[in-house]
């Protein structure tokens, strides 16, 4: 390079093409992550009318009387518990939250200069009054999987492990996750 751009604090020289924290890349990553949190897990059957089948009824009765694992949704099991019979209407399936226990999400762009990135601010039902933040790695390195990695971390207890020795909140009252975060300003 004849006139290389200045290096950032990590001594990385960013080019103007393919820059993972360009406005366009950050907006794209933010939109993908926000869509996941806003809409949750959806299926083609969400919102459609449905009825209790003989098979689902038998499976729910077995689970209710003997316990065990089932792939039935809670609404079906509750309907059978409440006396529903095969052929009775069931409530339509609803999208599931993207991450169980996570509420009040806000996806933002944070940081300055070359250290800008996408983050999500959220609450968790197991930590009332706490507000968390998680910074995502820059898109080209995660290839769109960052939100899945966060879901897996929270689902396998990373937030609970982190809160055993509660980290200090920042000036805005946010407790930032301590696993896999790019550094922040």
Structure confidence at residue 23 (pLDDT)? 80
Domain boundaries, given as residue ranges, for the chain: 25-41+97-176, 50-90
109-121 per-position pLDDT tens digit: 988 887 788 899 9
Using alpha carbons, select from 45, 10, 39 the residue that is nearest to residue 147. Answer: 39
Structure confidence at residue 1 (pLDDT)? 44
- Strand partners of residue 122: 132
Q: What is the CA radius of gyration of the chain?
A: 22
Mean pLDDT of 46-74: 91
DSSP character for 145? -
Own/partner long-range contacts of 170-174 (Cβ < 8 Å, ≥24 apart): 170/133, 173/131, 174/121, 174/131, 174/132, 174/133
98-152 per-position pLDDT tens digit: 998 999 999 999 888 877 888 999 999 999 999 999 998 765 555 667 888 899 9
Structure confidence at residue 17 (pLDDT)? 43
CA distances from 158 to 10, 32, 106, 131 (A): 27, 23, 20, 15
Q: What is the pTM of this model?
A: 0.66
Instruction: Kindly indicate the confidence band of residue 14, based on its pLDDT and cuts at 50, 70 and 90.
Output: very low
Buried b or exposed e, range 122-143, using 16+ CB within 10 angstroms: bbbeeeeebbbbbbbbbbeebe
Mean pLDDT of 29-46: 86
Structure confidence at residue 46 (pLDDT)? 83
The first and second tokens of residue 166, run together, are 């509660």
């Amino acid at each position: 390079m004849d006139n290389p751009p200045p290096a950032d604090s990590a001594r990385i020289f960013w080019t103007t093409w393919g820059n993972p924290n360009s406005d366009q890349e950050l907006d794209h990553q933010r939109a993908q992550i926000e869509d996941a949190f806003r809409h949750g897990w959806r299926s083609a059957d969400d919102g459609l009318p449905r009825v209790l089948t003989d098979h689902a009824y038998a499976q729910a009765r077995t689970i209710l009387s003997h316990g065990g694992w089932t792939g039935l949704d809670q609404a079906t099991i509750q309907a059978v518990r409440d006396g529903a019979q095969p052929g009775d209407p069931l409530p339509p399936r609803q999208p599931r939250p993207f991450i169980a226990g996570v509420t009040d999400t806000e996806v933002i762009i944070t940081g300055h200069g070359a250290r800008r990135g996408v983050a999500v601010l959220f609450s968790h039902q197991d930590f009332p009054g706490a507000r968390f933040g998680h910074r995502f790695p820059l898109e080209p390195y995660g290839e769109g999987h960052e939100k899945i990695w966060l879901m897996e971390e929270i689902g396998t207890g990373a937030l609970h492990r982190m809160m055993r020795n509660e980290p200090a909140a920042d000036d805005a009252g946010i407790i930032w996750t301590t696993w896999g975060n790019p550094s922040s300003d």
